[in-house]
Amino acid sequence: MSLIVAARFTTFPAAESAAQKLFDAGFVEEDVTLFFVNPRGQHARFPIGGDTDSDPGAREAPKGAGMGVTIGAAIGAVVGVAIFAAFSAPLLVSLIAAGVGAYVGSLIGAMSRTKERGKSDLHVPYHEEARDSGVLVAVHVSPDNQLDAARVLREAGGVAIEKATGRWQQGRWADFDPTRTPKPIQEFAEKRA
């Protein structure tokens, strides 16, 4: 595993300028790379897109649909029996009313359990990414020059300076995972107000 130091920049020109400052400080081209990190949740980890297998707000929808089917079928059956008794309609009408009631109930039940993210009554645990979007400049370093790389990146305007271990192959960070929580370098950690 290689030791890597990285910092985030808001634009490619700023990141390219930081890379040039790293070259001026003695780092070689095959030890510096830059790439864009997509916004949270937009890393296409699944073939149909996204980073999680389900939306956190929709995790309770199947339970709501099950309850809705039960309640809707019961209400539909009562309505069907009432139609049967009042109009002497065939028994098939009662069965159709129960089926329609079950279907409508499942929709209402599922939607009632689907919540918007950020509502105070929603407490669904899921992975929240800590890495912001932007252009990442990554530097393959040794234990001896890691603080030098971090200092150059900070002076070039880099934020969220982090240290990681990973596979560095052919001049790039080969196993970079945008969903992994970054580990800030303590000497360069931003102070929170």
The dihedral region occupied by 126, where left means phi > 0, alpha psi between -120 and 50, and beta the remainder, is: beta
Its pTM stands at 0.58
The pLDDT value recorded for residue 101 is 81
Q: How confident is the model at residue 43 (pLDDT cuts 50, 70, 90)?
A: low
- Comparing 171 with 52, the larger pLDDT belongs to 171
- Comparing 81 with 11, the larger pLDDT belongs to 11
The pLDDT value recorded for residue 70 is 83
Angle at 44 (CA atoms; ends 116, 124), nearest 5 degrees? 30
For residue 6, give the 3-state DSSP assignment: strand
Q: How confident is the model at residue 124 (pLDDT cuts 50, 70, 90)?
A: very low
DSSP letter assigned to residue 174: T
Spell out the domains of the chain, with CATH numbers in brackets: 2-51+129-188 (3.30.70.2750), 56-113 (no CATH)
For residue 2, give the 3-state DSSP assignment: strand
**Percentage of the chain surpassing pLDDT 90?**
31
Which stretches of 28-126 are DSSP H helices? 61-87, 91-113
Q: Would the pLDDT of 193 be above 80?
A: no
State the residue for tokens 């970054």: 182
The pLDDT value recorded for residue 122 is 46
Question: 4 phi and psi, to 5 degrees?
Answer: -130, 135
The pLDDT value recorded for residue 53 is 60
169 bridge partner residues: 172
Average per-residue pLDDT for the chain: 80
| Per-residue pLDDT reduced to its tens digit, 18-42 | 999 999 999 999 999 998 887 766 5
CB atoms near residue 137 (< 10 Å): 28
Question: Are the beta carbons of 152 and 25 closer than 8 angstroms?
Answer: yes
Mapping DSSP onto H, E and C, the string for 40-64 reads CCCCCCCCCCCCCCCCHHHCCHHHH
- Comparing 103 with 131, the larger pLDDT belongs to 103
